[in-house]
């Protein structure tokens, strides 16, 4: 009898754990302004937080590769920022995606590149046709790994971060400054 009671309790606990894994928490909502701009170090930068609703309006709910709900089963949340950068300095600006970062809830997260995001969808999608529809969107909107922006030139794209992050807190997005790898980054703050 004792063994049966133990098995019942174990089954109930296991069911509770697995059912919570398949639930999700709501997508992030910015409590502060969704758009932040700065002009420093010869760069004019606008960073806009993109919430679930705006991404669904732009890409639709079915093929949207930037779904931002938090899925506990995968222990990750996708956070998307739209970056517009204009080089107003006299020298070319060398953008490197790997030097961008998100600091949130005590974690520092590097952005996901287009290859990684596409690979995630290829492994998660059960319909290859949907993945094929997502691929051109990913290639067009996710920022390139490296790009030289000439004087007067412009860079536009999405910074996509993925991590196990909470619903609320203070976040900072850092973009590499001009002047090489030793230049201080430009930092933008958000409240969620």
Strands 170-175 and 101-104: antiparallel
The radius of gyration computed from the CA coordinates of the chain, to the nearest angstrom, equals: 20
Domains of the chain: 26-191 (2.60.40.1150)
More confident residue, 13 or 148: 148
Residue-level pLDDT at 74: 59
Q: Give mean pLDDT, residues 55-79.
A: 80
Question: Hunting for tokens 């005590």 — which residue is that?
Answer: 106
User: What distance in Å separates the CA atoms of residue 47 and residue 189, rounded to the nearest whole number?
Assistant: 10
Most confident range, picked from 10-19, 30-39, 110-119: 110-119
The string of pLDDT tens digits covering residues 143-167 is 999 999 999 999 999 999 998 877 7
Which two tokens mark 184?
């201080």
| Contact present, 173 and 102 (Cβ < 8 Å) | yes
Residue-level pLDDT at 87: 96
Q: Does 58 have pLDDT greater than 60?
A: yes
Nearest to 44 by CA among 175, 180, 169, 133: 175
More confident residue, 157 or 67: 157
Provide the 10 A C-beta neighbour count for residue 10. 10
Q: For the chain, give the percent of residues with pLDDT over 70.
A: 79
Which pTM value belongs to this model?
A: 0.80
Q: Does 133 have pLDDT greater than 60?
A: yes
Q: Give mean pLDDT, residues 126-144.
A: 91
């Amino acid at each position: 009898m004792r063994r049966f009671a133990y098995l019942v309790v174990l089954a109930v606990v296991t069911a509770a754990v697995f059912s919570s894994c398949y639930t999700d928490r709501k997508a992030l909502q910015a409590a502060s302004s969704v758009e932040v701009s700065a002009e420093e170090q010869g760069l004019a930068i606008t960073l806009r937080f993109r919430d679930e609703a705006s991404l669904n309006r732009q890409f639709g709910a079915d093929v949207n590769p930037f779904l931002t709900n938090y899925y506990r089963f995968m222990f990750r949340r996708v956070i998307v920022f739209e970056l517009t950068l204009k080089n107003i300095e006299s020298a070319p600006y060398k953008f490197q995606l790997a030097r961008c970062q998100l600091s949130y809830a005590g974690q520092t997260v590097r952005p996901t590149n287009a290859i990684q995001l596409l690979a995630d969808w290829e492994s998660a999608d059960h319909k290859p046709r949907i993945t094929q529809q997502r691929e051109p969107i990913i290639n067009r909107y996710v920022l390139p790994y490296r790009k030289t922006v000439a004087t007067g030139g412009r860079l536009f794209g999405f910074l996509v971060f993925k991590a196990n992050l909470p619903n609320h807190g203070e976040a900072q997005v850092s973009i590499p400054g001009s002047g090489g790898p030793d230049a201080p980054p430009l930092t933008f703050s958000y409240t969620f």
